A and B are shown apart, each in its own frame.
Chain A
Amino acid sequence: MTQKVHLSSVSLSVEGMTCGSCVQSIEQRIGSLQGVIHIKVSLEQKSATVLFDHSHQSPESLSEAIEDMGFESSVPESSA
């Protein structure tokens, strides 16, 4: 039986990162959440691009998870 998954990609803004280890810890922690397929964090652009399964995560829940780690994060309006 095949399972239907609804994959979405979102780019979240992330404030407060200053070095590579911040990037790494976010990628590790958010990347291990259920429903997160792939995450790429950019230090220069202060953003996190996440590919996720809609049945487990939403842009809001991902943003909250990043906030929970002590960084400021917001969902851009363009991605509904």
Chain B
Amino acid sequence: MTKHEFEVAMTCEGCSGAVTRILNKLGDVKFEIDLPRKLVWIESDRDVDVLMETLKKCGKEVKYNGTK
């Protein structure tokens, strides 16, 4: 599985909680969230575009930093 690093404009636990729930719904992914650094690491075989679209659902700015 590939590990992708995303930067998501999260500002509080509510934001990271929303991201958590969205990713859980997607299923089939392992992820880690670093709130202070606004980073989300996702381990998944899915397309980066799919992950990107999923993260964007929470209405926040998302940037892809590449694979880790």
Contact = CB atoms under 8 A, between A and B. Distances in A.
Nearest to B9: A21
Interface string B38-68: 0000000000000000000111100000000
A16 B14 contact: yes
B58 A19 contact: no
B12 A25 contact: no
Interface in A1-42: 16-19, 21-22, 25-26, 28-29
Contact of A18 (B14, B19, B58, B59): B14
Nearest to B24: A70
Interface of A: 16-19, 21-22, 25-26, 28-29, 68-72
